[in-house]
């Protein structure tokens, strides 16, 4: 089976010598099943590669559209705005009363579950101490733009490891750079390092954040990852709780 797909991949990537390519093309003309497989994978390869490459720009476009919508809402007629202010005032008063009497108020699920571990790294050499301290301080002070930058620079010099990847991903997640965050967590989740399930948990939180930003299909993706987190993992219990909350919310 391997050979068949390796051949297809080399053909699609243009990595076949001319004689082999012609031979493969002749086989395609005679073998409908092979031809169908090639067609399916060719179209998927093009579409997925293009969509992945465009994803950061699409997210940026969505953010610009969200702002444009907010701008439109601000421009609504003054009578409506007045009613909105009155209604907002009443709602705020109700919330204050509920908070005062201790009523549980649900906001963003992401905000409820995004409690991050402390960044405490081990220096590899004495010259690393200052950078590591800066990274730890930036992350601890929730200055995620700085921690993302410092982690990236450190990893470029010293090489990536799963710990750097986890905290770089969390920094990107907090900065709402969801594509970059997702890429880091996918690598952790697909790998076999000590941070595999931390990667899974944060991948689920990234999908959750996407869902709360309007991509409703991402709720299901979040659930799928949460279900995979095994009972021996540190993240199993909170994964179970979050799974129930998402289910309860999406079934409403």
Partner 1 sequence: MKAHQDQAYIEGIIARDAGVIRDIYVQNFESVAQHVLRNSGDRTDAEDIFQEAMVAIFQRAKKEELLLTCKFSTYLHAICRNLWLNELKKRQTRGVTLAGYTLYKEGDDSRKMAEETILQEERDRFFREKFNDLGESCKAILRNSWAGMGMKEVAELLGISYSYARKKKSECMARLSALIRQAAEFSKLKEGL
Least distance CB 58 / partner 1 (angstroms): 6
Q: Which is closer to partner 1, CB of 138 or CB of 239?
A: 239
> For partner 1, which is the closer residue by CB, 9 or 141?
9
Q: How far is the CB of 188 from partner 1 (least distance, A)?
A: 9
Residue 17's alpha-carbon distances to 7, 50, 200, in angstroms, are 11, 26, 41
| Cα dihedral sign, 180-182-188-191 | negative
Cα gap 40→37, rounded to integer Å: 5
CB of 98 to partner 1, least distance (A): 25
Smallest distance from partner 1 to CB 47, Å: 4
- DSSP E strands in the chain: the ranges are none
Q: How far is the CB of 51 from partner 1 (least distance, A)?
A: 6
Residue 15 is encoded by which pair of tokens? 């990595």
CB 197 within 8 A of CB 233: yes
Q: By C-beta, is 76 or 241 nearer to partner 1?
A: 76
End-to-end CA distance of the chain: 45
CB-nearer residue toward partner 1: 24 or 146: 24
Looking at residue 89, what DSSP letter applies?
Answer: H
Contacts of 162 (CB under 8 A, 6+ apart): 188, 191, 193, 194, 195, 196, 199
Name the site residues for partner 1 (rule: CB under 8 A). 1-2, 4-6, 8-9, 36-37, 39-41, 43-45, 47-54, 57-58, 60-62, 64-65, 67-69, 71-72, 75, 162, 186-187, 189-193, 200, 203, 214, 221, 225
* CB-CB contact of 120 with 163 (8 Å): no
Nearer to partner 1, 68 or 101 (CB): 68
Report angle CA 150, 116, 175 to the nearest 5 degrees: 50
Q: Which is nearer to partner 1, 140 or 214 (CB)?
A: 214
Return the number of the residue (29 or 68) whose C-beta is nearest partner 1.
68
Please state the closest distance from residue 178 (CB atom) to partner 1, in A: 15
Residue 51 neighbours by CB distance under 10 Å: 10
Q: How far is the CB of 45 from partner 1 (least distance, A)?
A: 5
């Amino acid at each position: 089976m391997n050979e068949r797909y390796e051949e297809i991949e080399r053909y699609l990537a243009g990595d076949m010598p001319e004689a082999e390519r012609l031979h493969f093309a002749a086989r395609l003309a005679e073998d409908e099943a092979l031809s169908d497989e090639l067609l399916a994978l060719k179209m998927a390869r093009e579409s997925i590669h293009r969509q992945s490459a465009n994803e950061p720009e699409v997210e940026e476009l969505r953010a610009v559209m969200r702002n444009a919508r907010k701008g439109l809402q601000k421009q609504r007629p003054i009578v409506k705005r007045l009613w909105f202010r009155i209604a907002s005032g009443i709602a705020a008063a109700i919330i204050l009363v509920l908070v005062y009497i201790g009523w549980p108020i649900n906001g963003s699920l992401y905000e409820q579950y995004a409690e991050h571990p402390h960044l405490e790294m081990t220096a590899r050499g004495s010259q690393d101490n200052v950078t590591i301290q800066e990274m730890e301080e930036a992350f601890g002070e929730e200055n995620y733009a700085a921690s993302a930058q410092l982690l990236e620079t450190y990893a470029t010099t010293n090489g990536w490891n799963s710990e750097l990847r986890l905290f770089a991903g969390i920094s990107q997640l907090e900065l709402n750079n969801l594509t970059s965050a997702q890429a880091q967590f996918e690598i952790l989740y697909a790998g076999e390092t000590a941070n595999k399930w931390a990667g899974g948990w944060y991948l689920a939180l990234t999908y959750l954040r996407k869902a709360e930003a309007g991509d409703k299909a991402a709720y299901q993706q979040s659930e799928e990852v949460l279900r995979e987190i095994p009972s021996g993992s540190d993240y199993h219990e909170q994964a179970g709780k979050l799974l129930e909350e998402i289910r309860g919310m999406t079934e409403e």
